[in-house]
Amino acid sequence: MFVNLFVSSILNWEEKGITIALSAQKHEPGEITLRLQGEGRFILKIRRPHWSPEGGIVEINGRQVDYMPGPDGYWSLDRDWKDGDEIQLRLDCRIRLESAPDRKECVSLAYGPYILAAVSDSKEYLRLPLQEGDLDSQFVKETGPQGLQFRYIKDDVTFIPLAVVQKESYHVYFLAEDSTMDR
């Protein structure tokens, strides 16, 4: 059994009599819980996402386990599973820049699995003087009307997950002004 995406969902594995419910927190996208119903031995392979380069913590029934992702990029949890078993993942989420494939100076901001949108009425590209080495210190994580948001300290620009944009004008790409960035 492979877990590749961290979207709240339910899998009904009829052949094994197993149900797995995956819950992902919108405000904390690195907090993921899998709850099992049914029993049996199988390998549960959980993908370590690229947005969590430090990996994360895996707990089974509240106890931290020392699993490292294998060369295939998956945590392999091989065991006899019991009804009610719970797997908790705490993945490291950080703010990062994603370059446009054809213009390295044109970037998007991301946090964990989310692409962030800058809420702005500007018709021109936003220009943000970023220092890539320590992006987390340049933003304040907040809870706004639509949930998770980040405020860029230097220019007071608010970023929200693109998926929650409603009627706001927004930018997904902007021009980064730090020429030392190497993506």
Residues 117 and 138 occupy one common structural domain:
yes
Residue 183 falls within a domain, yes or no?
no
Owning domain of residue 70: 2-91
The sign one gets for the Cα dihedral 84, 73, 2, 56 is positive
3-state class percentages of the chain: helix first, strand second, coil last, to nearest 5: 5, 50, 40
- Helices assigned H by DSSP within the chain: none
Total domains, the chain: 2
For residue 20, give the nearest of 32, 33, 34 by alpha carbon.
34
Question: Residue 183: how many CB atoms within 10 A of its CB?
Answer: 12
For residues 163 and 169, give the distance between their C-alpha atoms in angstroms, rounded to a whole number.
Answer: 13
Residues 14 and 87 in one domain: yes
| pLDDT tens figures, 1-16 | 999 999 899 999 999 9
Tokens encoding 122: 């500007």
Tens digit of pLDDT for each residue in 60-113?
A: 999 999 877 888 989 999 999 999 999 999 998 889 999 888 988 899 999 999
Cα separation of 178 and 155, whole Å? 15
Model pLDDT for residues 129-170, shown as the tens digit of each residue? 876 777 888 899 998 877 889 999 888 899 999 999 999 899
Residue 77 lies in a domain: yes
Question: Which among 26, 56, 91 is the end of a domain?
Answer: 91
Whether residue 80 sits in one domain with residue 61: yes
